[in-house]
Amino acid sequence: MKYFILSALFFSLVAHADVYRSVDQYGNTVYSDIEDETSEKVVIDIAPSYTAVAVEAELPIFEEEVAEENIIPNYKLTIVSPSQNESLHNPESIIVAVELMPELNALRNDKLLFKLDGKEVTAASTSLNTVLTGVERGSHILLVSVVDKKGKVLKKSKSTLFHVHRTSVAP
């Protein structure tokens, strides 16, 4: 039953209706599907249509340029210094050095990001070295990542655990 009602509603909307034009007491043109003594029938020959304006094609992008920029190099990233489980006694600064193969892709604007205990210690840069100062005594985890220009991590090094020992001044 409900399908009959839905189909009847659909066909009533699609049914053809005449259109009448009249002018009301204020001089406005009124269109309606109801005929009265002052209206005239409007004949509609064709349905309104629209022809889109031609748009120029975009400039072609050479496939080589797209390919070089989109290919993510297969980076091999290793922390060289400090070494795994290295103990440092009273360091004023700690030099962090990494090895990276292949070199950072300049077209992609890839950079290195150094993190100590999960916190960024420098802004992303192209340098393979950085210096840590003011590192408190205790064990620390160092991690280096290659990031793209949007900050997306492309490659992470294995984390390195190192230990800082400070001389106690307590008697």
Model confidence pLDDT, tens digit, residues 95-112: 999 999 998 888 888 999
| Residue 107 domain flag | yes
Both 103 and 34 in a single domain?
no
| Residue 12 domain flag | yes
Lowest mean pLDDT among 2-11, 28-37, 99-108: 2-11
| Residue 147 domain flag | yes
| Residue 154 domain flag | yes
| Residue 62 domain flag | no
Q: Do 3 and 9 contact (CB within 8 A), yes or no? A: no
Residues 6+ apart with CB under 8 A from 114: 96, 120, 121, 122, 130, 142, 143, 144
| Residue 138 domain flag | yes
More confident residue, 159 or 54: 159
Which pLDDT score, from 0 to 100, does residue 129 have? 92
pLDDT digits (tens, 9 = 90+) for 40-83: 988 877 766 777 777 776 666 555 555 555 678 889 999 999 99
Q: What is the CATH number of the domain that holds 116?
A: 2.60.40.10
Both 98 and 152 in a single domain?
yes
Both 38 and 78 in a single domain?
no
The residue segments making up the domain with residue 121 are 74-165
Q: What's the CA gap between 147 and 168, in Å, rounded?
A: 39
Q: What is the reported pTM?
A: 0.57
